[in-house]
Structure 1
């Protein structure tokens, strides 16, 4: 479950294990960079002014979280960092490791530290650890027993606990662009001393098929070399038949992807179902993940329709579930129906704007306590302090509305939500105006 390597480990590891260095190895393994300068596509981290470059120049390496798609070099960079800093490299996977494994790794790191040797602990898929397991890292990160480098494909803000994020810096790994993929193809040709049997267009198609994943690009290269007969050159159509993978019409991680999803979103916002269906169809035809599109439609229902038609979110979620249940191509019709619904629904961003305003107010007034009359008093001391005193239970009041003030006493009443006179929000506006009238009549703060 844990692999260890010290500075200088390399081919001698094979000899020590009694393995033949000439045994078949995947191309991605043979081309694994031996120094940080060989890593491609991450100049924002490893270029002359990159974040990791500056850390190494300062001889100060703290705990890090590597966030990015598969095949972008997260594991490789972690291993090379250990070499650059003379730390012992230890690797574990959150998928296969439990509390007992962590305890053993931490104990070994403590023993190693007593001899003057530091430990770089690389944790793959770190987001798979639960909260209690993540908590166990905090003391050894805090006292320097380990330098943690965690790798994740998921957003750390949602998947990792705040105390861990406060002790580690998040570094973003980007999908490899066409130039970076081309460098890998050229290195593969140099290593194997042969050219890829592809014409220029097919070479570009192979790079698009890799979809920003360096490891995937080298796997495709191996498939091409295995399939090619002497003197055979593949065009893009033949390439797709050989590898049984379609080249996307646009790169899902680059401008084409963002341009089309932007066009789809704005067509929905502009209440044009025909244009929205056109862009949806283009993205599906390009091989876009339908569940990605379904998630974006859910976002449209929340952001651009909101409470003007509460049913829009229900329809969008139902389409996502229907696709998840039916798959392609049948489930794509559910997504198309959702697009038509959200495009023709009344539009409102009032809830979106209100939430943003409320978040800004919460940041500015985050230290204020709620008024005591709306707080529970489970203990005698809290009752004596006035918790819950004077609270009026709304269901017992006339029209189930007490008109009490719920903002902190130090704050004026705020109005974040201002529903327009459209769709269902017209009815919500009537309710709010009526409650404001009752609140004023009953002596509450306007």
Structure 2
């Protein structure tokens, strides 16, 4: 049996991590103490304790525990297994159905699943690595308590590994077992918050460190490094992790934090997601820099085109250039604010008709309809400007664009104030 399964905690007190929901006085402890278990959706990265918690709940409540993986079965198989289990209900208080990877069931299958949980004899504990609000049918969400499991802190991983080593020392018949703390820290640092991964790495390092001649085990940081592959980052391009990294990247650029911007860019580069990187850079150039630095969009476009032409790994260079440049640029949201105000009015107020002097007048008979008759051609006037109404009557005094407080926009604003005051 793998070490991670052999050492799986049997009590909630032995679990590490998830301090926001597990611990004395916390919600999951109270649920278990009261033995009143609701339907639950547990979501979060692998190796963070979702299955372990389900096992603990089933053993504490005295319910029959049925564990299935939605990847390998459909609703019919789930119903058949539950029906079979219900024949033994006289010796149990009900059924706990632990359904891993619930997102593998489509909407119709999830709707069918409602039938087996609504009568109360089956308590559903479903797990998923995806955001449940993206992948789980709303009717199931509304009948369930939702708990987020987060990557486990390296300090808690370290505690869990030390406990595992204590168990190994008790169970194994070696003359001596020496595992350096530095090696344990290294595992905790590189397991990406995944306790199962950490225990697997410890097991591999332990087996590698066995010296048969002296009947001893010695694990150093070199042993761990020899056994370790590259750290795997959590990134699902179409899921919650991917969107969150992109969001953090965009917000760091908007917030002018160069180092944070480069950090999140590195995560996206590691995931090979060049399309989403370039989309975000181009968006920031207009949405968050905009008219504060009008040439930002041109420079960013040049970097983006270079990156797409080069491909990875070289693409990381122009992408980083654009990232540092945009993070350093003065910021203005006047562009997106202006268009969003205009779009809001289209949806919410009566905007009226286009002024008749602005309507198309290129066809015969247009003048008979009064179209374009009173239009004044700006280039026929001093400074290529003449005062006339362009907005519909209903919103003629609306102001959508408000200049940002930066050198470029203020320069244009002052220019037009001087021109227009003489008209």
Q: Which residue does the alignment assign to 1:280?
A: 262
Q: Which residue does the alignment assign to 1:210?
A: 191
Q: Which residue does the alignment assign to 2:323?
A: 339
Distance in 2 separating the partners of 1:235 and 1:210? 17
Q: Deviations over 1:155-201 (max 9, x none)?
A: 11222222221111111112222232122222222222177644333
Q: Which residue does the alignment assign to 2:144?
A: 168
Q: Is the 8 A contact 1:69 1:213 kept in 2?
A: yes
Select which of 253, 256, 261 maps to 1:268. 253
Q: Which residue does the alignment assign to 1:147?
A: 123
Q: How many residues align?
A: 350
Q: Is the 8 A contact 2:100 2:126 kept in 1?
A: yes
Distance in 1 separating the partners of 2:336 and 2:105? 32
- State the shift of 1:205 in Å: 1.3
Distance in 2 separating the partners of 1:333 and 1:156? 36
Q: Is the 8 A contact 2:42 2:128 kept in 1?
A: yes
Describe the shift of the 1:190–1:342 C-alpha distance in structure 2 as closer, same or farther (beyond 3 A): same
Structure 2 residue 204 is matched with structure 1 residue 219? no
Describe the shift of the 1:264–1:74 C-alpha distance in structure 2 as closer, same or farther (beyond 3 A): closer
Q: Which residue does the alignment assign to 2:181?
A: 200
Q: Secondary structure at 1:82's aligned position in 2?
A: helix
Describe the shift of the 1:402–1:107 C-alpha distance in structure 2 as closer, same or farther (beyond 3 A): farther
Structure 2 residue 71 is matched with structure 1 residue 86? no
Distance in 1 separating the partners of 2:303 and 2:82? 44
Q: Which residue does the alignment assign to 1:44?
A: 20
- State the shift of 1:280 in Å: 2.3
Q: After the TM superposition, which of the residue ranges 234-243 and 167-176 deviates more from structure 2?
A: 234-243
Which ranges of structure 2 fall in alignment gaps of 5 or more residues? Answer: 234-244, 361-389, 410-423
Describe the shift of the 1:234–1:76 C-alpha distance in structure 2 as closer, same or farther (beyond 3 A): closer
Q: Deviations over 1:252-285 (max 9, x none)?
A: xxxxxxxx9999767733668xx45x9627984x
Q: Which residue does the alignment assign to 1:74?
A: 50
- State the shift of 1:151 in Å: 0.7
- State the shift of 1:111 in Å: 5.1
Describe the shift of the 1:281–1:43 C-alpha distance in structure 2 as closer, same or farther (beyond 3 A): closer
Distance in 2 separating the partners of 1:110 and 1:263? 48
Distance in 1 separating the partners of 2:51 and 2:7? 14
- State the shift of 1:232 in Å: 7.6
Q: Is the 8 A contact 2:102 2:126 kept in 1?
A: yes
Select which of 218, 225, 228 maps to 1:243. 228
Q: Deviations over 1:32-63 (max 9, x none)?
A: 11222222213333311121111223332111
Distance in 2 separating the partners of 1:225 and 1:355? 61
Describe the shift of the 1:86–1:246 C-alpha distance in structure 2 as closer, same or farther (beyond 3 A): closer
Which ranges of structure 1 fall in alignment gaps of 5 or more residues? Answer: 1-24, 249-259, 362-369, 374-390, 406-413, 427-446
Distance in 2 separating the partners of 1:87 and 1:161? 25
Distance in 2 separating the partners of 1:128 and 1:315? 39
- State the shift of 1:330 in Å: 3.9
Q: Which residue does the alignment assign to 1:58?
A: 34
- State the shift of 1:110 in Å: 5.7
Alignment map for 1:361-380 (pairs within 5 Å): none
Describe the shift of the 1:339–1:112 C-alpha distance in structure 2 as closer, same or farther (beyond 3 A): farther
Q: After the TM superposition, which of the residue ranges 26-35 and 176-185 deviates more from structure 2?
A: 176-185
Q: Secondary structure at 1:44's aligned position in 2?
A: coil
Distance in 2 separating the partners of 1:350 and 1:138? 48
Q: Is the 8 A contact 1:67 1:153 kept in 2?
A: yes
Q: Is the 8 A contact 1:202 1:234 kept in 2?
A: yes
Q: Provide the alpha-carbon RMSD of the alignment.
A: 5.2
- State the shift of 1:418 in Å: 5.6
TM (norm. structure 1) is: 0.60
Larger radius of gyration: 2
